[in-house]
Amino acid sequence: MFTYPRMPVPARSSLTLAVVVAALAAAPAASAQTAAPAVPAGLADTTDRVAGPTKDGEVAPVRPLQVIVEFADDAGEEGRVAAAAAVDGGLLRVSGPHTRLMGLPPGADGEQALRTLREREDVVSAVPNHVGRAAGYTPDDPGAGAGWEAVQWNFLAAHGVNAPDAWTNLREAGRAGGKGTVVAVIDSGVAYRDDGRYELSPDFTRSQFVRGRDFLRDSPYPLDTSGHGTHIAGTIAERTDNGVGVTGLAYGSRIMPLRVLDSEGFGDSDDIARAVRFAAREGADVINLSIEFDDEIEARDIPNLLEAIEYAREKDVNVVAASGNSAADSVPYPARAPGVIAVGATTESGCLAEYSNAGRMVDVVAPGGGRDANVPDDPRCSLDNDGRNIVQMTFDGQVDEFLLPRDYEGTSMASPHVAGTIALVLASGVLGDDPKPKEVELHIEDTARDLGSRSLYGHGLVDAAAATRPR
């Protein structure tokens, strides 16, 4: 089984070749009024989304020759242009109210450029444009399903999220399947429409999607190129009771597809941050981030993304993220960010999955599939248990050939179970008409099924039925 490779993060002193700054996208009005100046000839072209190779041949953990610069409030466009000129660079893109993505010329000394920028009084921070990756596994062997109950153990009551009872709760509330909610899937895109060789997934309808964006191509058409995002969207909102494929947890909600990951599962902090801001501005109720950065990435390395998440929370958007797949006792960003619900993964037997990160930063767990972790004191866990994975309709290799692969597992798959549950909670009205994200988070935790050790399972296994039960 192929996994997205881990990307070692070099010390700052070794970021000579691959450093350019990306900043948060400005608010819509600022973006329209303050266009970035033309990029000087020879600077890094942001349409080239491939991270440069390291000396070991692995994918670099930052975008080559891109830096994210946050300027002081009073810097002005003149000051931003002057800062770029000080490092022989140019402003590639507006990324936030006071943040710009800056390009350096080929062969530039990235470390020296960072030092020069950080010494300026009009610069608040300057960091590399770090690269994250999909927090899950990609399929390498197609499978087939035979009725949703036979393959979607993750939606049943035993060790799943108890979707059938949740669906009953929502029908009785008059909001079947979470109708009226919008979930932003920030991922590799979604098979949400017919477009040339791309096809709409046969278990979705076009009306299930709201306007999205492709942040890799700066295009309004976020078409999936790997199948990962389509699988995530399927867990949340795939159609039910239609005689096709399997089911989605919040099948009445609508998906906002936002593409930030390339076909290999990599995406940078600038694109992810811009997508978070877009989702918050455009009316998403929930954001799902099945994405993880390397364990060594700290808050100071991704200030643009943390500001975007804070912006989303201020707009009362619920943010959910995968806890990561390195079997560590810590949680990487973005799941580690304040206000984000960090989701670990469990198996078909209700045990912690062998790959899932754990520790005090995990808020809840949800089905992710795979083998049991080695937890001697947990009777649900056995090293002999090699449970089934998470089945949703997506494509494998060919973007127009859809199937039900059986090899998707990871915290990537766990996270959308929580995002879908939140959509159901919001639609059900059990928390009132306009609950705040913190209230929603506490409700998800309070209604989760206690699995024992808080350091392994957080507050427990998310329970969609309990979370949507009238109080």
Query: Both 110 and 167 in a single domain?
Result: no
The pLDDT assigned to 309 comes to 98
Q: What is the CA radius of gyration of the chain?
A: 21
Query: Does 140 have pLDDT greater than 60?
Result: no
The pLDDT assigned to 198 comes to 94
* Ranges 132-136, 146-150, 243-247, 457-461: which has the least confidence: 132-136
Tens digit of each residue's pLDDT (9 = 90 or more) over 444-456: 999 999 999 999 9
Name residue 386's beta-bridge partners.
371
- Could you tell me the residue range of the domain that residue 61 belongs to? 12-130
What six digits make up the tokens of 96?
């936030």
Per-residue pLDDT band at 110 (split at 50, 70, 90) = confident
Query: Both 439 and 400 in a single domain?
Result: yes
Average pLDDT estimate for 413-425: 98
Query: Does 56 have pLDDT greater than 90?
Result: no
Give CA–CA dist 183/318, Å, rounded.
Answer: 9
Residue that wins the pLDDT comparison between 51 and 75? 75
Query: Both 126 and 205 in a single domain?
Result: no
Average pLDDT estimate for 194-211: 95
* Residue 5 in domain: no
Average pLDDT estimate for 46-63: 47
Provide the percentage of residues in the chain whose pLDDT is more than 70: 84
The Cα angle at residue 245 between residues 239 and 250, in degrees rounded to 5:
30
The pLDDT assigned to 48 comes to 40
Query: Does 178 have pLDDT greater than 50?
Result: yes
Query: Both 156 and 121 in a single domain?
Result: no
Query: Both 94 and 237 in a single domain?
Result: no
* Residue 126 in domain: yes
Query: Both 310 and 443 in a single domain?
Result: yes
* Residue 411 in domain: yes
With a CB cutoff of 8 Å and minimum separation 6, the contacts of 164 are: 155, 156, 157, 465
* Residue 252 in domain: yes
Domain boundary among 130, 157, 191: 130
CATH of the domain at 376: 3.40.50.200
Domain boundary among 130, 158, 177: 130
Query: Does 467 have pLDDT greater than 70?
Result: yes
Per-residue pLDDT band at 135 (split at 50, 70, 90) = low
What six digits make up the tokens of 386?
């090699």
The pLDDT assigned to 6 comes to 26
Give CA–CA dist 387/62, Å, rounded.
Answer: 35
* Residue 45 in domain: yes
* Residue 139 in domain: no
Give CA–CA dist 204/208, Å, rounded.
Answer: 7
By C-alpha distance, which of 362, 356, 357, 325 is closest to 340? 362
List alpha helices for 93-138, DSSP H. 110-118
The pLDDT assigned to 107 comes to 85
Query: Does 170 have pLDDT greater than 80?
Result: yes
Average pLDDT value over all residues in the chain:
85
The Cα angle at residue 449 between residues 315 and 245, in degrees rounded to 5:
75
Per-residue pLDDT band at 442 (split at 50, 70, 90) = very high
Give the three-state DSSP class for 9.
coil
Give CA–CA dist 387/11, Å, rounded.
Answer: 39
* Ranges 107-121, 275-289, 351-365, 381-395: which has the least confidence: 107-121
Which of 20-29, 92-101, 149-158, 230-239 has the highest average model confidence (pLDDT)? 230-239
* Residue 308 in domain: yes
Domain boundary among 101, 130, 159: 130
Secondary element (H or E) of residue 131: strand 123-134
Cα 410 to chain centroid, rounded: 13
CA distances to 19, 157, 174, 359, 417 from 169, in Å:
51, 15, 9, 33, 17
Query: Does 253 have pLDDT greater than 60?
Result: yes
Neighbours of 152 (CB within 10 A): 23
* Ranges 97-106, 195-204, 295-304, 347-356: which has the least confidence: 97-106
Query: Both 178 and 234 in a single domain?
Result: yes
The pLDDT assigned to 375 comes to 94
The pLDDT assigned to 414 comes to 98
The pLDDT assigned to 109 comes to 87
Query: Both 113 and 71 in a single domain?
Result: yes
Per-residue pLDDT band at 134 (split at 50, 70, 90) = low
Q: Is residue 458 within 8 Å of 323, Cβ to Cβ?
A: no
At residue 377, φ and ψ (nearest 5 deg) are: -90, 0
Decide the pairing of beta strands 213-214 and 254-259: parallel
Q: Is residue 348 within 8 Å of 159, Cβ to Cβ?
A: yes
Tens digit of each residue's pLDDT (9 = 90 or more) over 287-302: 999 999 999 999 999 9
Query: Does 54 have pLDDT greater than 50?
Result: no
Core vs surface per residue 72-102: b (16+ CB within 10 A) or e: eeebeeebbbebbeebebbbbbbbbbbbbbb
Query: Both 160 and 96 in a single domain?
Result: no
Query: Both 161 and 279 in a single domain?
Result: yes
Query: Both 123 and 183 in a single domain?
Result: no
Render 235-272 in DSSP notation, one character per residue. HHH---SSSSS---TTTTSEEEEEE---TTSEEEHHHH
The pLDDT assigned to 95 comes to 83
The pLDDT assigned to 38 comes to 45
Active site residues: 187, 228, 412
Query: Does 267 have pLDDT greater than 90?
Result: yes
Give CA–CA dist 371/272, Å, rounded.
Answer: 30
The pLDDT assigned to 155 comes to 94
Residue that wins the pLDDT comparison between 455 and 131? 455
Query: Both 274 and 352 in a single domain?
Result: yes
Provide the percentage of residues in the chain whose pLDDT is more than 90: 66
* Residue 157 in domain: yes
Q: What is the number of structural domains in the chain?
A: 2
Torsion, Cα 70 72 73 79, to 10 degrees, reads -100
The pLDDT assigned to 126 comes to 86
Per-residue pLDDT band at 4 (split at 50, 70, 90) = very low
Average pLDDT estimate for 141-145: 32
Give CA–CA dist 188/228, Å, rounded.
Answer: 6
